[in-house]
């Protein structure tokens, strides 16, 4: 590919991303028929989710010890062997009464990507076969789907205010493992119990703003 073809391809991609971002922004605006003005939607029925890796422990710690207190000590083969676990956080806009009372704090939950596996060997801490909670290191589409079906959606239904709209949008980014709104297993759970829970995707960042 020569430089001219590359520039044209980059320009088309950049333009397409900008159009998606423009469309996404316009969909966040509504017309107030009473005030007769355009304004942003309050997003009270939008749940924002995102995931992040966290290391179970740090490579180094700072401790303040009293005289005679023994310093804690931990070892591993190298920094590469420090386990990490991914958490997914789900939050939405809180709701307040006119007097400032919190009607709904918007905290849906923080969900770890872990699984229960039997211990392969016996040790001084547990016998072989004892179930241990281990972090899932490979986050694939099925893992995300299970997290939606068994954790996020049930938590939304449990904590959602009874007076609020049952049409709820879960907003996520465009990570490859993320499922789509038309996923059959998700739709079965999301449309049950009188709820209509949908998944919406944020548009990808334009190259010129991804600095």
Compute the average pLDDT of residues 4-12.
56
Give a yes or no: residue 26 inside a domain: no
Residue 65 inside a domain? The answer is no
Give the pLDDT score at 210: 46
For residues 95 and 23, the model is more confident at: 95
Q: Does residue 210 form part of some domain?
A: no
Q: Which residue segment(s) compose the domain that 49 sits in?
A: 45-58+78-201
- 195 lies in some domain: yes
Evaluate whether residue 8 is within a structural domain.
Answer: no
pTM of the model: 0.77
Is residue 39 predicted with pLDDT exceeding 50?
Answer: yes
Judge whether 194 and 166 are in contact, CB under 8 Å.
yes
pLDDT band at 7 (very low <50, low <70, confident <90, very high): low
Q: How many domains does the chain have?
A: 1
In this prediction, residue 60 carries a pLDDT of 76
Share of the chain above pLDDT 90, in %: 47
- Secondary structure element (H or E) that encloses residue 12, with its range: helix 3-26
Residues 6+ apart with CB under 8 A from 157: 193, 195
């Amino acid at each position: 590919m020569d430089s001219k073809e590359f520039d044209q391809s980059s320009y088309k991609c950049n333009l397409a991303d900008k159009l998606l971002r423009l469309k996404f922004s316009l969909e966040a605006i509504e017309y107030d028929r009473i005030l007769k003005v355009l304004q942003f939607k309050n997003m009270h029925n939008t749940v924002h989710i995102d995931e992040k890796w966290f290391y179970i422990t740090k490579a180094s710690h700072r401790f303040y010890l009293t005289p005679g207190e023994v310093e804690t000590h931990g070892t591993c083969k190298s920094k590469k062997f420090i386990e990490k676990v991914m958490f997914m956080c789900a939050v939405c806009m809180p709701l307040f009464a006119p007097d400032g009372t919190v009607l709904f704090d918007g905290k849906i939950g923080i969900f770890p990507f872990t699984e229960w596996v039997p211990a392969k060997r016996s040790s001084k801490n547990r016998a072989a076969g004892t179930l241990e909670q281990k972090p899932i290191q490979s986050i694939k589409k099925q893992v995300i789907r299970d997290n939606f079906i068994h954790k996020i959606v049930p938590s939304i239904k449990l904590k959602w205010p009874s007076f609020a709209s049952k049409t709820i949008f879960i907003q996520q980014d465009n990570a490859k493992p993320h499922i789509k709104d038309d996923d059959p297993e998700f739709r079965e759970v999301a449309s049950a119990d009188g709820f209509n829970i949908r998944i919406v995707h944020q548009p990808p960042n334009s190259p010129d703003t991804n600095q």
